[in-house]
């Protein structure tokens, strides 16, 4: 079902410092910050030759990143995103296999303008999974 690795997301307590580190010592191509209020995050994408890194910073009162950073104040790996060709087919298959889709179960539009949804980390070896239809 899953295809390419689209991105690995890292929650960070200081977005400016994280961008400076990736652009400086790590020598990566760092994009511009993008506010996604409907997801409660500000994101910055870092382009690597074979995938992307998504830096996540909390936005608004109900941000999922705020609660993550409360438990891990130094930041840390937050989720991994896999590409799927048909997100509703993938969702229905995973639900029938017993996986929990987060939120109301509907796909929402993510940072790349594509439909995305999230799968509960407790159902996938402690790793929060994002699926993106590409
Ligand atoms: C879509 C825009 C953009 C893009 O790429 O296009 C993004 O990626 S935005 C990314 C931000 N959005 C989300 O993360 C949406 C989905 N996330 C959620 O619904 C919540 O964050 C959830 C349910 C994963 C965690 O909710 P909460 O913070 O309230 O914590 P809980 O206490 O309910 O957590 C239960 C349990 O899971 C563990 N946990 C929490 N977050 C993670 C994580 N990122 N990775 C692994 N495990 C995680 C948490 O520690 C709890 O474990 P326990 O043993 O019970 O303490
Ligand atoms: Co993501």
> 5-133 has which fold?
2,3-Dihydroxybiphenyl 1,2-Dioxygenase; domain 1 (3.10.180)
Average pLDDT over residues 112-130: 98
For residue 102 and ligand 1, the question of a CB distance below 6 A is answered with yes
Residues 73-102 have pLDDT tens digits of: 999 999 999 999 999 999 999 999 999 999
Write down the domain spans for the chain: 5-133
Residue 54 is among the residues annotated as catalytic for this protein? no
Contact 94, 18 (CB under 8 A): no
pTM of this prediction? 0.97
Task: Among 64, 71, 109, 130, name the best residue to mutate to test ligand 1's pocket (greatest count of ligand atoms within 8 A of Cβ).
Answer: 64
Ligand 1, atom 40, lies closest to the CA of 68
Q: Calculate how far, in angstroms, residue 130's C-alpha sits from the geometric centre of ligand 2.
A: 6
- State pLDDT tens for residues 15-56: 999 999 999 999 999 999 999 999 999 999 999 999 999 999
How much is the pLDDT for 44? Answer: 98
Q: Report the atom number in ligand 1 closest to the C-alpha of 120.
A: 24
β-pairing, 76-84 vs 129-133, is parallel
Confidence of residue 64 (pLDDT cuts 50, 70, 90): very high
- Check: complex ipTM more than 0.90: yes
For the chain, give percent helix, strand, coil, nearest 5: 25, 35, 40
Reduced to 3 states (helix: H, G, I; strand: E, B; else coil), residue 90 is helix
């Amino acid at each position: 079902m899953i295809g390419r690795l689209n991105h690995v997301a890292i929650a960070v307590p200081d977005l400016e410092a994280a961008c400076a580190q990736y652009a400086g010592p790590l020598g990566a191509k760092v994009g511009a910050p993008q506010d996604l209020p409907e997801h409660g995050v500000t994101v910055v994408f870092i382009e690597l030759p074979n995938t992307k890194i998504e830096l996540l910073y909390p936005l608004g009162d109900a941000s999922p990143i705020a609660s993550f950073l409360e438990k891990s104040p130094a930041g840390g790996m937050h989720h991994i995103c896999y590409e799927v060709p048909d997100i509703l087919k993938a969702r229905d298959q995973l639900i029938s296999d017993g996986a929990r889709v987060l939120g109301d179960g509907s796909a929402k539009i993510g940072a790349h303008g594509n439909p995305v949804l999230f799968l509960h980390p407790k159902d996938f070896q402690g790793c929060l999974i994002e699926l993106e239809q590409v």
